[in-house]
A and B are shown apart, each in its own frame.
Chain A
Amino acid sequence: MLKFGLFGKLIAITVVVVAVLVLGVSLALAQKVTVSWFVRSQPEEQPWERTLIKEFESKNPNIKINLIIVKWDDFEPKLNAMFAAGTPPDIWSHWGASGFMDYYIRGMIADLTPFIEKEKFDLSDFIPEVLNLYKVGGRIYGLPCLTCGGSFLYYHKGLFDKAGLAHPPTDWEDKTWTTDKFLDYARKLTRDYADPTKAIYGYFDGFWPGTAWPLLFGQDIFPASAYETGFAEEAFVTHPQVIKAYQFSQDLVFKNKVSPTQAGRVALEAMGNPFISGRAAMYTTGGWGWWVFKGLEKEFPWGAAALPKGHPDAKCIIFTDPWVLAKTSKNPDAAWDFLKFLVSKEQQEKYLKAVGAPQGRHSLLPVFYELYPTMTSTQMEEVFLGGLRNGIESPNHLLVRFDQIDSALRAFTDPINLGQKTAADALKDGEKLFVETLRKIKAEYAKK
């Protein structure tokens, strides 16, 4: 026995609300084609992204760009959800936990070669080493969005001058800039190590991934073939140079006391880079320092130098990001038009000037060299090309499931960083499981 009065009112309200939501107001943009551009959250890039979209849309009135900005952690869930539903974003880069090779292996990215050949798209301005990174089997799958160059040693000029030390060299070939000399400098630059509230550290480790250390001592953990095929079946975990490298990094903290402990790093890095706040004299990291530190020269005078070498065959890690196009894109031609626009010289120059990220074009390098008041353009050229010419692209871009490999790597290198085991012991203990992980990855993901 339901009285219409009360019950009816409730039903009516609910039905109205639900109906409004279900039917909704659909904005029919039937004439326009939408291209979705899936990017990471990086505050400095946002103004550039918006301006670029406005420019592109005014030049291409029948294409609308849908900008989707996602934080690093959520990049993969959202990307995969969109792919699973058959509505992938059209253009993106490897800014989540996956790398280029992961996308290639899963058949997510389109072969750009037909597009390029059809309109004879001019690739001559691109730096060949950078362009070739994202070719598989001779076919191009990505066009460079940016390249960090290599990894570099960023240093605080003020702290160096105060300690009366000569600035480290920008020339990669400078044989005097060894890891021993680097250690010597770090010792001289460290003050008040025991007091975390006042300490100034000679060195703060910003290397990622951890394979950067062995590379500095001339021996990569992965075989060179891994970067071609995307899979590694063996690893040089207990090679003497690798052991030496990790031991060196451990000693920086515990024996030589020039670098903070893991816990210390977490505390110092929580709200920003301690290098910026003058608590570290030297900081090694991938070339994203170019845009993290850009424009901060007034607050602290910083410079860039070549990495110290632990071995004549030392190498550094290069990080290059490609724009890729979804294989199952709903509007591949419009997406290609947008991609061309993104990698055009004008737009890349704007990106460079706005953010500081170096581009993969020859013609834009001189512009890049001018961006930093505390470094002359000759110095910039020397240090940048030194890193680029002596580097190999990061395994996280070229090895499938590097994310998983990195976790496995950390499982046995964490005790080194926490000072619980010597490098020799930790690496010996971890070798078997690590190689097993590599083999499992190949078994699971390699195309049959």
Chain B
Amino acid sequence: MLSPPPFLSGGEDCKVRVLSPQARREERAFYLFLLPWIIGLIVFTAGPVVVSFLLSFTKYDMVSVPEIRGAGNYTELFRDPLFWKSLKITLYYTTLAVPLGMMVALLIAMLLNQRVPFLPFYRTLYYVPSITPAVAGALLWQWLLNPDFGIVNYYIFKIFRVRGPQWFFSEQWVIPSFAIMSLWGVGQAVVIFLASLQSVPTTFYEAATVDGAGPLAKFFRITIPMISPTILFLLVTGIIGSFQVFTPIFVITVGRGGPNYASLVYVLYLFQNAFRNFRMGYAAAQAWILFLVILLLTLLVLKISRSWVYYEAER
């Protein structure tokens, strides 16, 4: 994906980036197709983004005029134990939620890709959790995972004869609880995987069967490579999304990130600083640090992806 443009004219050793007329035409078309996004970026996004960056160097409570603070917000952040804690917690959450979510989504998508009766109904049912209002979902999970009254612990006790964990009330289990809860939104990834699985030409599988390949071989040599662009997509967007997880934590811990700040994910702490403590400048600094972290991580993932992602179009 990050490959140099292969259309230099004047031979491969020519260092001058001179384009052939055909390549120039292609490049012009490229910018024309991108025009909507470029205009949108300049008009709607650039201003607020630049302002938020500038605000990160100020003290701003949203009511009075911002006061310049220089790099004070950043130095304070690096000395703030909650900043580090929230970063660690968010990292932990991401490493749990993203792989788990993707594996479960792929599993479900593959199951739904079989010849199962009433398939349209099943697919719709699996998509339901994504559409269920967040309030209902949060309530449900609070009940399921209630340490004293919930059915999960009830069955754990019945089957394994041990007391289940305290889930959302325990400092150790609260993040794993949220990671499990994130499976709720897996429907969207399932839809994407399904669309992707569907676009794998069946001729490939047929040819493989003729060659005597078993199901595992088919999975790893055909399916995975053919859906690898989708896997990359879900991985990158999953990381970007998980690092910014907010709403479920906000709803269940009533905005506190408890118990004892054990579920204080990064954006929750940001929100608290912005809208509870009225320290918008400080929050802006937090946001930009997060941006950098996510950006670096994404670039890393993209770089590594060159070795395992297969684009049919680049054959």
* Residue positions of A touching B, CB distance < 8 A: 73, 76-77, 80-81, 83-84, 97, 102, 106-108, 196, 261-264, 266-268, 270-271, 401, 403-404, 407, 410-411, 414-415, 418, 444
Over the window 241-281 of chain B, the binary record of Cβ atoms lying under 8 Å from chain A Cβ atoms (1 yes, 0 no) is: 00000000010000110111100000000000001111100
Task: Tell me, in angstroms, the Cα distance from A77 to B275 when the chains sit together.
Answer: 6
Find out whether the CB atom of B64 lies under 8 angstroms from the CB atom of A106.
yes
Supposing A196-B149, A263-B147 touch, asked if A80 and B278 sit within 8 A by C-beta, the answer is yes
Given contacts A97-B276, A263-B149, A270-B142, list 4 more A-B pairs with CB under 8 A: A84-B62, A263-B146, A267-B148, A271-B139
For A271, list chain B residues within 8 Å (CB). 139
* Residue positions of B touching A, CB distance < 8 A: 61-64, 139, 142-143, 146-150, 166, 169, 250, 255-256, 258-261, 275-279
Supposing A84-B62, A263-B166, A411-B260 touch, asked if A73 and B146 sit within 8 A by C-beta, the answer is no
Task: Tell me, in angstroms, the Cα distance from A261 to B255 when the chains sit together.
Answer: 21
Find out whether the CB atom of A407 lies under 8 angstroms from the CB atom of B256.
yes
Find out whether the CB atom of B148 lies under 8 angstroms from the CB atom of A404.
no
For B250, list chain A residues within 8 Å (CB). 73
Find out whether the CB atom of A106 lies under 8 angstroms from the CB atom of B61.
yes
For A403, list chain B residues within 8 Å (CB). 276-277
Find out whether the CB atom of A266 lies under 8 angstroms from the CB atom of B146.
yes
For A267, list chain B residues within 8 Å (CB). 142-143, 146, 148-150
Supposing A266-B146, A270-B142 touch, asked if A414 and B258 sit within 8 A by C-beta, the answer is yes
Task: Tell me, in angstroms, the Cα distance from A97 to B271 when the chains sit together.
Answer: 12
22 pairs, A vs B, C-beta closer than 8 Å: A73-B250, A73-B255, A80-B62, A80-B275, A80-B278, A97-B255, A102-B278, A106-B64, A107-B63, A107-B64, A261-B148, A262-B169, A263-B169, A267-B143, A267-B148, A270-B139, A404-B277, A411-B258, A414-B259, A414-B260, A418-B169, A444-B279
For B276, list chain A residues within 8 Å (CB). 76, 97, 403-404
* B63 shortest CB reach to chain A, Å: 5
Contacting A106 at CB < 8 Å: which of B63, B142, B169, B261? B63
For B62, list chain A residues within 8 Å (CB). 80-81, 83-84
For A102, list chain B residues within 8 Å (CB). 278
Task: Tell me, in angstroms, the Cα distance from A287 to B169 when the chains sit together.
Answer: 29
For A270, list chain B residues within 8 Å (CB). 139, 142-143
* A258 shortest CB reach to chain B, Å: 16
User: For residue A270, which residue of chain B has the nearest CB?
Assistant: B139
Task: Tell me, in angstroms, the Cα distance from A264 to B62 when the chains sit together.
Answer: 39
* A161 shortest CB reach to chain B, Å: 28
Find out whether the CB atom of A411 lies under 8 angstroms from the CB atom of B143.
no
User: For residue A76, which residue of chain B has the nearest CB?
Assistant: B275
* B16 shortest CB reach to chain A, Å: 27
